Amino acid sequence: MTDRRIVAVHDQPPAVAYVRRDGRAARHTFDFLVETVSGARIAYAVKPLAKVGSSGIEDTIALIRRQTGDGFADRFEICTEQHVPRAKVADARHILRARACRNHEDVRATSQVAAGLRGAVPIRSLVAMSCLPPARALNAVVNLIDEGGLELANGTHIGDLAMVRLRRPAMAA
């Protein structure tokens, strides 16, 4: 959801018309239509895993794919809770909000403070060390996570008590 290769996410795009196996006309509304920088369009149907089979979504997508070609989307995907845990969705929302409210000076100032970190610290501590108003500092920290300057430690998710550290450089192969 916070992939920089994505340029647009359309929430419930217009319904797609198709013909069911019994010959009747039908319409299906996908949950999301994602556009990428390469121009590819990916349609997502979101279903609880327990309902994928009984909903008939796999057959619906197969029919739409066959009947629309690449007129609606280049790829069709079914997303379940196995694909997108709630914590990842919450992190993505934080990141998208931070991108929309990015303050370059706040990010620069917080980056300078973060450069002095030794090991992992709670986000709330980094916010306090920044001497910025808390909301602005938190936004700057989230931007730094998004941009790769900071990383969440120990598989945590964005929040006051989450631990962050300077991102380690990749090891040379």
Q: How far apart are CA 104 and CA 132, in angstroms?
A: 13
Query: Closest Cα to residue 123, out of 103, 144, 96, 104?
Result: 144
Closest CA to 110 of 161, 149, 73: 149
**Span 86-166 CATH architecture:** Orthogonal Bundle (1.10)
- Regarding pTM above 0.85, the answer is no
Q: How far apart are CA 93 and CA 156, in angstroms?
A: 15
pLDDT of residue 171: 45
What does the pLDDT read at residue 2?
59
What is the 3-state composition of the chain as percent helix, strand, coil, each rounded to the nearest 5?
Answer: 40, 25, 40
pLDDT tens-digit profile, the chain (173 residues):
457 788 888 889 999 999 999 999 999 999 999 999 999 999 999 998 999 999 999 999 999 999 998 889 999 999 887 776 677 778 888 998 999 999 999 999 999 999 999 999 999 999 999 999 999 999 999 999 999 999 999 878 999 899 999 987 654 44
Give start-end residues of each CATH 1.10.10 domain in the chain: 86-166
Pairing of strands 75-79, 121-122: unpaired
The count of other CB atoms within 10 Å of the CB of residue 100 is 8
Measure the N-to-C terminal CA separation of the chain; round to a whole number of Å. 30
Kindly tell me the burial class for residue 14, based on how many C-beta atoms sit within 10 Å of its own C-beta (0-12, 13-18, 19 or more).
Answer: exposed
pLDDT tens per residue across span 41-67: 999 999 989 999 999 999 999 999 999
**Helix and strand element counts for the chain (H, E):** 6, 9
